[in-house]
């Protein structure tokens, strides 16, 4: 609290930045920007000696600000620095639509691929039935049953 008012005293922002790599390449690096009154620190994720992730201090500097320069916009405030997302229902509906469309695309992919038919093969020959395989009929007059 500062002068009887609740204030933000610490802010950490996780970011992914793109830095130049070897020659013509670029690579993504995760970093955390730690903002405090009068100070900023940047930590970057790197690989430790045993292959585990390690956060190391990459850069730090002092500032002249006694506060953290962050403007918060609430749509429905539920507490200090907390709020309800205004478009949560739309986001959930978007996920539902995407999942349904994905299932529909998969069903159409399977339904559009016909089964191949092979005539005159020996009974001892093995065939796998699937979208890119054949079904054996000994008699040419027999056909796959129609589904109406």
Alpha carbons 21 and 144: distance in angstroms, whole number: 59
As a 3-state breakdown, the chain gives helix, strand, coil percent values, each rounded to 5, of 15, 35, 45
Residues across the chain: 148
Alpha carbons 57 and 42: distance in angstroms, whole number: 6
pLDDT in 10s for each residue of the chain, 148 residues = 778 888 899 999 999 999 998 788 898 999 999 999 999 999 999 888 888 989 999 999 999 999 998 988 888 899 988 999 989 999 999 999 999 999 999 999 888 877 666 676 677 877 666 666 666 667 777 666 555 4
């Amino acid at each position: 609290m500062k002068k009887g008012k609740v204030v933000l005293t610490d802010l950490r922002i996780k970011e992914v930045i793109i830095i130049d790599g070897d020659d013509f390449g670029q690579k993504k690096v995760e970093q955390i920007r730690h903002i405090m009154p009068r100070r900023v620190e940047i930590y970057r994720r790197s690989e430790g000696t045993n292959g585990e992730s390690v956060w190391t201090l990459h850069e730090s500097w002092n500032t002249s600000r006694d506060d953290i320069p962050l403007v918060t916009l609430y749509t429905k405030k539920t507490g200090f620095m907390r709020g309800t997302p205004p478009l949560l229902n739309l986001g959930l509906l978007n996920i539902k639509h995407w999942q349904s469309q994905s299932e529909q695309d998969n069903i159409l992919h399977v339904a559009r691929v016909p089964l191949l038919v092979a005539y005159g093969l020996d009974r001892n020959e093995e065939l796998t039935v699937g979208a890119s395989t054949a079904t054996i009929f000994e008699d040419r007059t027999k056909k796959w049953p129609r589904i109406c």
